[in-house]
Amino acid sequence: MDLDDNRHDRIRPIQWRGDHLLLLDQRRLPFETVNLRCDNATDVAKAIRELAVRGAPAIGISAAWGVVLAGQGVQAANGVDAERQIAPQLDALNASRPTAVNLMWAIRRMRESLLAAGEDWLALITAEAGAIAREDLAANRRMGQLGAALIAPGSGVLTHCNTGSLATAGFGTALGVIRAGVAEGRIAKVYAGETRPWGQGARLTAWELQQDGIPPTLIADSAAAHLMKTGAVQWLIVGADRICANGDTANKIGTYAHAIAAKHHGVKVMVVAPSSTVDLATAHGDDIEIELREARELLFAGGQRVVAEGVAAWNPVFDVTPGSLIDVIVTEKGLIEQPDEARMRAVFCRP
């Protein structure tokens, strides 16, 4: 695949404009393509919390630009002075969502860059945020090559949530592998799960694939096991919000159920994520904070209440797939097959 050929990758959800950030508002897709303007860190934290921007890498990149916006609001002699002044804003950004470790990773990287900077601190952190975005795009393209190479020509794949350009700096993680796999003729058919309750698959992935000339076939989440039983898919390909030291992987709610069904039916499970999603400080999946969102996301559809008044709802929006159910984790640093702690450390603790 020619990596500069962007026939299958046209969407860019995060645009830095020098003194403000434009985010393609994902709450309004697929019928309205409207940018949300963020002028300060508070705007960015709100956009992350309310899912105007979502997907682990996109959250991290947006937060990095949020740090730059916070910096633009202060006068400081050096990076340490600036950090002291904007620390509450960095903490607010850091707390805007709990599960995707890319958010904390990006804030930490931006804070370290700031603390090491002299009087040119603003220029330095602006360059750092740009580097975070560029590195993400490059990682995605690399993972696309590595992951696609594992897929036999003519395969069918199922993906869950949205892991595409919309969720990253561009190209996508799991959807990047799917883009590369389609371009190389390895993937003949792409199924996208609708991803209840927020509909990332139905509203975002189906739209994104269609925009980029890859025809998606939508399924209800509850149709996944039946689809696998028919033999139509050889791979379940998903992204991640946090990968622990032992390979346990948090991703969009429903991924765990899909992985169990995949194991039962001999469908292989591929997790695709950049190294910014790897969290070696978290030993296993039980230690990951799973975001709980408001019941309203379940009780309403398209603004319309669809459940009787008075019914309670429980809405965890991520789950953890044990490393033992994963055939391969694809990162830009290499593949981790049958992941466990030793194999994870062999890739991520290399000197």
The residue ranges that bind ligand MRU (CB under 6 A) are: 54-57, 100, 161, 163, 167-168, 173, 200, 239-241, 251-252, 317
* Structural contact between residues 9 and 188, judged by C-beta atoms closer than 8 angstroms: no
The residue among 43 and 319 lying less far from ligand MRU, judged by its C-beta, is: 319
The residue among 79 and 197 lying less far from ligand MRU, judged by its C-beta, is: 197
Q: Could you tell me which residues come within 8 angstroms of residue 36 by beta carbon, excluding any fewer than 6 positions away?
A: 22, 23, 24, 25, 47, 52
Smallest distance, Å, CB 276 to ligand MRU? 10
The residue among 75 and 314 lying less far from ligand MRU, judged by its C-beta, is: 314
Q: Nearest to residue 287, comparing CAs of 105, 98, 27? A: 98
Closest CB to ligand MRU belongs to which residue? 239
The answer to whether residue 120 is catalytic is no
| Backbone conformation region of residue 141, classed left if phi is above 0, alpha if psi is from -120 to 50, else beta | alpha
The residue among 64 and 240 lying less far from ligand MRU, judged by its C-beta, is: 240
The residue among 111 and 252 lying less far from ligand MRU, judged by its C-beta, is: 252
Instruction: Name the catalytic one among 25, 212, 241, 319.
Output: 241
Active-site amino acid positions = 241
